Amino acid sequence: MRLFALLAAFFVLPLFAESTIVINEGVEAELQKGIIPVAIVSDDPTLGALVQFALSTHGAIRISPGSSVKVKIGRNALSAVVACDNARCAFETNVEGRDEDQLALRVADAALVGLGRRWQLKPMFADTKVAFVSKFTGHSEIYTTNLARSKTMRITSYRSTTYGPRWSADGSRIFFISSMRVGFPEIFSTNGIGAASNVIVGVSGALGAASSGPDGRLAFASSNQGTMDIFVAGPSGQGASRVIIAPNKDVVNTDPCWSPDGSRFALTSGPSGHPGIYVASSAGGGLTRISTGHSYCTEPRWNPANAQQIIFTYSEAAVLHLGLIDFAKSTVSSIETASPIPLSHASWCADGRHVVATQGTGIAVVDTVTGKTTRLSTSQLGECYQPDCWVRRAN
């Protein structure tokens, strides 16, 4: 299987042409708004560019070359010193990486945490991996990237209908749907670096991607028994059994997502024209509908860093938006962004604040707090959609 590792400059340079650069911004005024204007100074231009792009996706960071808040990066092989001597945001951190890509991501995290101590900003870059679908070749294939977009790889090469990538709980595999083998959808597994894929669940009519729970078990939707139901199977697809059964063919259950502790699912359920967000025990049983205030809601994703939050997609006036369910606050809110381009199919990053979502014909990083949206895919990748994030889980 061929892999495509696209050069860092191929991805980084176009973005800086598109980004808004702020010069001579009043630092204190920005800090009062919870925004940190930052200038990146690095003795390695490539590393500096990768870190600048990564930080530019965060809603609390504004890249401002004229800012007195300067993040200085001194590189030595696969280690670096990251520091800021501005009294408002002073810090110094030593960072190491196993390769250049990981070094860039860890440097970005060190800068984010060091600058954002006042707001307790959390690392998000090194512990987030992104899988998505791209039509770069003219066919839908599975790709992976990171939040610095320094290493993008093509994982499949089937020239067939391939969709629905989902990471395993440990980040070692990607599950996805393809019809390439026998003409109907099956769930496949790959190790995430391009090794040959294998069928792990030979269930016909599998229309929903396999979501991996914290203990490795898989949940997926299938019409194998005549109705669209939710199945649970072992980590290799063994012992699949129905746990949520639709009462009739008009009701569709799909897109299950495990809660962080594995005890519950969030899922899409209802008639195809008016689906809603539901919660159910992962052992099966009745469904509890979440009142969102919208008549068309799909694609729930539980926040792995905050069991009180679920992000979902809703439609209003035929336009797709992102909504946030917060059980702790008993609220449902919309993610308001400045971009008019529709957003859907969101998946959480490691900090539990940002998501990667489909944005029109590409994928983007979205800050659920500020609404800041930054394109992650470039035009060279063609149409991209269905991102799924793997994030490192706390032990």
pLDDT score for 2: 36
Please give the order of strands across the beta sheet that includes 343-348: 343-348, 354-359, 362-367, 373-375
3-state class of 370 per DSSP?
A: coil
pLDDT score for 394: 67
Which helix (H) or strand (E) segment holds residue 114: the answer is helix 100-115
**Interior/surface letters 126-156, b for 16+ CB within 10 angstroms, e for the rest:** bbbbbbbbbebeeebbbbbbbbbbbbbbbbb
User: What is the domain partition of the chain in residue ranges?
Assistant: 8-119, 128-391
pLDDT score for 193: 67
Say which CATH class 128-391 falls into. mainly beta
pLDDT score for 200: 77
Return the DSSP state at 380.
G
Find all residues with CB under 8 Å of 183, minimum gap 6, and list them.
none
Q: How far apart are CA 390 and CA 194, in angstroms?
A: 17
Residue by residue, DSSP assigns 55-79 as HHTSTTEEE-TT-S-EEEEEEETTE
Beta-carbon neighbour count of residue 99 at 10 Å? 10
The amino acid at 194: G
Radius of gyration, alpha carbons of the chain: 21
Using an 8 Å Cβ cutoff, are 212 and 200 in contact? no
Mean pLDDT in consecutive groups of 10 residues from the start of the chain, 395 residues? 36 35 60 91 97 98 94 98 94 97 98 96 97 94 95 89 92 90 83 73 74 94 91 88 93 96 96 93 94 96 96 96 97 94 98 97 97 95 97 78
C-alpha 25, offset from chain centre: 31
Q: How far apart are CA 383 and CA 115, in angstroms?
A: 35
Q: Per CATH, is 8-119 categorized as 3.30.160?
A: yes
Nearest by Cα to 133 from 345, 275, 334: 345
Model pTM?
0.91
pLDDT score for 157: 87
C-alpha 348, offset from chain centre: 5
Q: In this structure, what is the dihedral angle of CA atoms 43, 374, 147, 145, given to the nearest 10 degrees?
A: -120
pLDDT score for 183: 76
